[in-house]
């Protein structure tokens, strides 16, 4: 539904240039809620403003609903923008108009007749839970109610796409949850595609199907939330489930385990310790609800080097858990580096590697470790 290719935006002043977006490629599927995360200054808001061309990109293309926007005439672009709603961080309501008057603004601009406009405004206010506040003024509303007015206004022209620029960052946690629940309901009821800019990881956990991380104007990581959680090197996954970096004792194997759904209720740690008579040290753990499902990560240290723990690791995988060998402080460390295990292949003991890696099959790993020793 939304596609940016090579999107670059450079702001120029008399004495310098600032690159806000640097060759950004983004893909948002129809009907999904896509969250873009990043710190202040990462380029998130510039990106969302380039999607509807409120900011004209310096180079690159923007497609929405299969229509390439950057090459359209002014009149054709105005017509396409009516199919793209936008929700702002600070509501941007007109203080001189009541709630109904604010929601009616895009309908007035589009030339909708008075009777139809009145009917549409009432429908939208009912949709966002403000049916009894049509005659109230912004100063009389709470922050959450103001944002609901902003959402209703954004839906005035029956958009296919809804852009949300930090739509919950000015709200308290309880109100944030109610607005996120509303967006999720609207997606289901109206078939919206939602691109959501945020710096709050809880927003991604609550409603996003996919996410991207931005830094210095670039997308450094993106994918579905489920896929990101299964990547051992995912920074977004580590931010969703921060685990303390506790150093294990020498002669142990450190595992990082990802589990989801019914797996979160299984006592696999205690079962592992009893069945295989192995000492298990829990270095860190986190369990959260992501997209309506419980998901968690845990870092364990098993007593003994990797070769000693092939069978226990196999048992964990048989339970449907994703198990990644993070570190072997035994035989591999003694040879000058960590055990680096490559997905689908044998461990690489010739060079130091990223500590977040994916183990190969136990038999292959043992053979390679013995050969190196």
- What DSSP string describes 273-324? HHHHT--EEEEEEEEEEETTEEEEEEEEEEES-GGGGHHHHHHHHHTT-EEE
For residue 298, name the pLDDT band (cuts at 50, 70, 90): confident
Mark out the alpha helices in the chain (DSSP H runs). Answer: 44-51, 74-81, 99-109, 114-127, 143-154, 173-190, 201-207, 225-229, 235-240, 268-276, 310-318, 331-334, 362-372
Kindly list the distances between the CA atom of residue 13 and the CA atoms of 7, 17, 20, 351, in Å, as whole numbers in the listed order.
Answer: 20, 6, 13, 46
Percent of the chain with pLDDT over 90: 54
Predicted confidence (pLDDT) per residue in 104-128, tens digit? 999 999 999 999 999 999 999 999 9
Instruction: Give the tens place of pLDDT for each residue, 216-239.
Output: 999 999 998 878 877 777 888 777
Report the pLDDT averaged over residues 126-137: 95
Q: What is the structure's pLDDT at 247?
A: 65
DSSP 22: E
Backbone phi, psi, residue 209, to 5° = -85, -35
The C-alpha atoms of residue 213 and residue 216 are separated, in whole angstroms, by 10
Q: State both tokens at 327.
A: 């570190």
In this predicted model, what pLDDT tens digit does every residue of 154-165 receive, in sequence order?
999 999 999 999
Tokens 């099959």 belong to 361
Which has the higher per-residue pLDDT, 115 or 328? 115
Number of Cβ atoms within 10 Å of the Cβ of 311: 11
Cα dihedral value 55, 28, 151, 240, nearest 10: -110
CA distance 263 to 19: 45
Residue 46 has pLDDT above 60, yes or no: yes
pLDDT of 57 > 90? The answer is yes
Burial 58-79 (b: 16+ CB within 10 A, else e): bebebbbeeeebbeeeeeeeee
DSSP 141: S
Q: Quick one: average pLDDT of 13-35?
A: 94
How far apart (Å, rounded) are the C-alpha atoms in residues 162 and 129?
18
Residue 240: pLDDT band (50, 70, 90) is confident
Q: Are 19 and 217 in contact (CB under 8 A)?
A: yes
Per-residue pLDDT tens digits for 329-362: 665 433 333 433 333 333 333 333 333 333 333 3
- Residue 274, classified by CB atoms within 10 Å of its CB into exposed (0-12), middle (13-18) or buried (19+), is exposed
What is the average pLDDT across 229-255? Answer: 76
Residues facing 222 on adjacent strands: 212
Q: What is the DSSP string of 193-214?
A: EEEEEES-HHHHHHH-SEEEEE
For 293, the 3-state DSSP assignment is strand
The mean pLDDT of 165-172, rounded to a whole number, is: 88
- For 91-104, write each residue's pLDDT tens digit: 899 999 999 999 99
- Output the pLDDT for position 248: 66
Supply the pLDDT for residue 362: 39
User: Which of these, 369, 233, 215, 235, lies nearest to 307 by C-alpha position?
Assistant: 369
Q: What is the pTM of this model?
A: 0.77
Question: CA separation (Å) from 120 to 15, 147, 193?
Answer: 49, 18, 21
């Amino acid at each position: 539904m939304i596609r940016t290719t090579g999107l670059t935006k450079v702001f120029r002043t008399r004495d310098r240039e600032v690159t806000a977006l640097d060759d950004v490629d983004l893909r948002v599927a129809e009907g999904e809620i896509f969250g873009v995360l990043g710190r202040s200054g990462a380029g998130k808001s510039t990106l969302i403003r380039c999607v509807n061309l409120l900011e004209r990109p310096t180079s690159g293309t923007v497609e929405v609903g299969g229509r390439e926007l950057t090459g359209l005439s002014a009149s054709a672009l105005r017509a396409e923008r009516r199919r793209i709603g936008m929700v702002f961080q600070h509501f941007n309501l007109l203080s001189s108009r009541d709630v109904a008057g604010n929601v009616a603004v895009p309908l007035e601009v589009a030339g909708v007749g008075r009777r139809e406009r009145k009917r549409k405004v009432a429908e939208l206010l009912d949709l966002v839970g403000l049916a009894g506040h049509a005659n109230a003024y912004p100063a009389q509303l709470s922050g959450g109610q103001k944002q609901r007015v902003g959402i209703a206004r954004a839906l005035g022209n029956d958009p296919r796409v809804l852009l949300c620029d930090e739509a919950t960052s000015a709200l308290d946690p309880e109100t944030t949850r109610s607005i996120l629940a509303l967006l999720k309901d609207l997606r289901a009821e109206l078939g919206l595609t939602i691109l959501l800019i945020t710096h709050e990881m809880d927003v991604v956990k609550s409603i996003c199907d996919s996410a991207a991380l931005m830094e210095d104007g670039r997308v450094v990581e993106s994918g579905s939330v489920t896929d990101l959680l299964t990547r051992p090197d995912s920074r977004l996954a580590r931010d969703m489930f921060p685990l303390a970096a506790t150093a294990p004792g020498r002669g142990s194997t450190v595992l990082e385990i990802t589990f989801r759904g019914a797996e979160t209720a299984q006592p696999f740690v205690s079962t592992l310790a009893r069945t295989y008579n192995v000492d298990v040290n829990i270095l860190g753990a986190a369990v959260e609800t992501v997209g309506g499902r419980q998901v968690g990560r845990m870092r364990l240290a098993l007593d003994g080097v990797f070769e000693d723990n092939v069978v226990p690791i196999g048992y964990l995988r048989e339970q449907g858990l994703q198990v990644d060998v993070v570190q072997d402080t035994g035989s591999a460390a003694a040879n000058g580096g960590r055990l680096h295990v490559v997905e689908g292949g044998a461990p690489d003991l010739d060079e130091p590697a990223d500590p977040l890696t994916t183990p190969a099959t136990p038999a292959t790993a043992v053979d390679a470790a013995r050969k190196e020793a």
